[in-house]
Amino acid sequence: MSEDKVGCTVPAAEIESSGAEIAPAEEVKKEAVRMGIMVGMKAPDFTAPAFYKGGFTTVQLSQFAGKWVALCFYPGDFTFV
Amino acid sequence: MSVDSQFVHKVWNDVELSKMIEAVGVPFHMASDGGGAIGTVYGVYSGAQGVDFRGRFLIDPDGVIQAMEVLSPPVGRNVDETLRQVQAYQLVRKTGGKEVTPSGWTPGGKVLNPGPDLVANVWKAWNPKDVYGKK
């Protein structure tokens, strides 16, 4: 992925609208919004700015195709739990 | 992934998390979900609180969600359980579903072979006492 595009602004994360052949992400996105995420669904692809091993980069879910992924959300940095 | 910027992720990693983890700190991507767009699609973003709840999704090599868990903020997750689930799904995937993992399965534990002979006979093949209440 693109490396070190560090500016003063924080680039907004993006939900991808292309890439998935079996279930186009745009359709998945609409389906996800309509009926919620379910097991058995294609995981909606996205790109997001990230900190990784000392540097800034962009991470895209689909770059991990072929691997198991644990995607974890949490309320915020410096929260206690 | 949280709504914090990657810059805040860096500071959290550098000043705190790196003190809990050997080597240099968090070994995976700390992604930023500013605005909660990704959390919204995954159903874990709270507009009222402006944060992503503790959602955890296991995604298989085909990009399909196999497991999900969402906790409210004050209770943390159990990473051992996440790893156990990954190991279980990997076994199922490797065997093409010929082996499935009953409740409480851990690696090396008893698996079940779905089929006509197993119907109403799970009690012969598996007992909760084999895996629960042993501590």
B109-128 pLDDT per residue, tens:
999 999 999 999 999 999 99
Output the pLDDT for position B121. 95
Q: Where are the domains of chain A?
A: 1-81
The answer to whether residue A24 neighbours chain B at the CB level (below 8 Å) is no
> Which of A31-35, A36-40, A51-55, B118-122 is least confident?
A31-35
**Averaged confidence pLDDT in chain B:** 95
User: Within the 76-95 window of chain B, which residues sit less than 8 Å (CB to CB) from chain A?
Assistant: 76-77, 82, 86, 89-90
Contact B29 A52 (CB under 8 A): yes
* CA B106/CA B108 separation, integer angstroms: 6
Give pLDDT tens digits for B4-30: 999 999 999 999 999 998 777 899 999
Partners of residue B5 in chain A, C-beta under 8 Å: 10, 49
Band of residue A19 on the pLDDT scale cut at 50, 70, 90: very low
Contact A73 B73 (CB under 8 A): no
DSSP 8-class letter at B103: T
* CA A51/CA B26 separation, integer angstroms: 9
Amino acid identity, position B134: K
Contact B32 A14 (CB under 8 A): no
Chains A, B: CB pairs < 8 Å? 170
Give pLDDT tens digits for A46-68: 999 999 999 999 999 999 999 99
Contacts of B50 (CB under 8 A, 6+ apart): B3, B36
Output the pLDDT for position A22. 46
The stretch A27-43 carries a mean pLDDT of 75
- Measured CA to CA in angstroms, residue B111 lies from A5, B3, B92, B130 at distances of 48, 40, 10, 12
User: Within the 42-61 window of chain A, which residues sit less than 8 Å (CB to CB) from chain B?
Assistant: 42-46, 48-54, 56-57, 59, 61
Secondary structure, 3-state, chain A:
CCECCCCCCCCCCEECCCCCCCCCHHHHHHHHHHHCCCCCCECCCEEEEEEECCEEEEEEHHHHCCCCEEEECCCCCCCCC
Task: Tell me the residue length of chain B.
Answer: 135
* CA B33/CA B1 separation, integer angstroms: 6
CB atoms within 10 A of CB B10: 19
Partners of residue B90 in chain A, C-beta under 8 Å: 68
Residue labelled with tokens 């810059």: B7
* CA B101/CA A4 separation, integer angstroms: 43
All domains of chain B in start order, with CATH: 6-76 (3.40.30.10), 80-130 (no CATH)
